[in-house]
Amino acid sequence: MTNHKPLIILGPTATGKTKLSIELAKKLNGEIISADSMQVYREMDIGTAKPTLEERQGIPHHLIDIRNPDEEWTVSDFVEQANGLTGTLAHPIIVGGTGLYLWSLFEGFSFPIIPADKELRARLENEPLTELYARLATIDPDAAAKIHPNDKKRVIRALEVYELTGQPISKLQKTGLLAHGLTGAQIIGLNLPRETLYERINQRVDSMIEKGLIKEVKGLLAKGYNKDLPSMQALGYKEIIDYLDGKYSKEEMIEELKKRTRNFARRQMTWFRRFTNITWHEACSPTLLNDIINTL
């Protein structure tokens, strides 16, 4: 079996990465590795824009539907499994919009694998965020400089790692550099003019609601998945939960989800600008598929 160099397809949400990757896989006899932090979860389909079995057209997809919503999935898990897959697949096509995952895989950066301590986290959750951040700034100023003072989740994680290991998370991250990143990968980026992208995002949100996103979230809650789980705090799920809790009307929730998704797309592009070797393509180009194949 001849192993081809990995192909990475990235871009902000709603640019058509999934459809393109399947068409490329058909042409190249490739297999797809998902670099989406939420598509790993079973039963979370509509809100994650997970391709259906029909849409996959028989193309093997990896790192989709491999965790339950209450099971942990970290960037370290992704890097480890994606690296293993790229070494065994004949033509791996890595597709997704989770910038942290793609950057960590490409650069060979691994985060410290420190299990969560629920008791410790619960204790930290009850403390004022201002005090938590001040403590982090004292014990790990490097980490504090990179974490927003309002990002409670990351502040608590950094403090948790310090209390469990006695070492700053920033130091562990530096020593977590792998020997090699994903060498030789070719990166294809999809982009759209802002107005077109925002229009697609708005249409996608409307489509998700029509397909039954509210019912999907209700079903997950009915099965006992806690609304405070990291998976249930994901974009799309959090807004539906807030609506079900009475925070928004249905119309307000839809507008809020559209706004947050547009903001998310901007954050994705901030991540992608870190890569210096992306070949960007206009996602709506009628010759997109052939243009990309001609560059391979």
Instruction: Write the pLDDT tens digit of every residue in 24-48.
Output: 999 999 999 999 999 999 999 999 9
State residue 194's pLDDT score: 96
Q: Looking at residue 177, what DSSP letter applies?
A: B
Round to whole Å and give the CA distance between 64 and 50: 8
Q: Which of 55, 66, 59, 49 is nearest to 93 (CA)?
A: 59
Whether residue 168 is found in the same domain as residue 183: no
Range from 109-113, 123-127, 142-146, 244-248 carrying the lowest mean pLDDT: 109-113
Range of the domain at 131: 118-175
Q: For residue 24, give the 3-state DSSP assignment.
A: helix
Whether residue 27 is found in the same domain as residue 135: no
Whether residue 105 is found in the same domain as residue 221: yes
Domain boundary among 175, 206, 222: 175
Whether residue 81 is found in the same domain as residue 209: yes
Round to whole Å and give the CA distance between 140 and 142: 5
Q: What is the pTM of this model?
A: 0.79
Question: How many structural domains comprise the chain?
Answer: 2
Whether residue 72 is found in the same domain as residue 213: yes
Residue 130 maps to which CATH number? Answer: 1.10.20.140
Instruction: Write the pLDDT tens digit of every residue in 84-123.
Output: 999 899 999 999 999 988 988 887 765 556 667 788 889 9
Instruction: Write the pLDDT tens digit of every residue in 55-64.
Output: 999 999 999 9
How does the average pLDDT of the chain come out, rounded? 91
Whether residue 152 is found in the same domain as residue 193: no
Mean pLDDT along residues 146-161: 88
State residue 177's pLDDT score: 45
Domain boundary among 135, 153, 175: 175
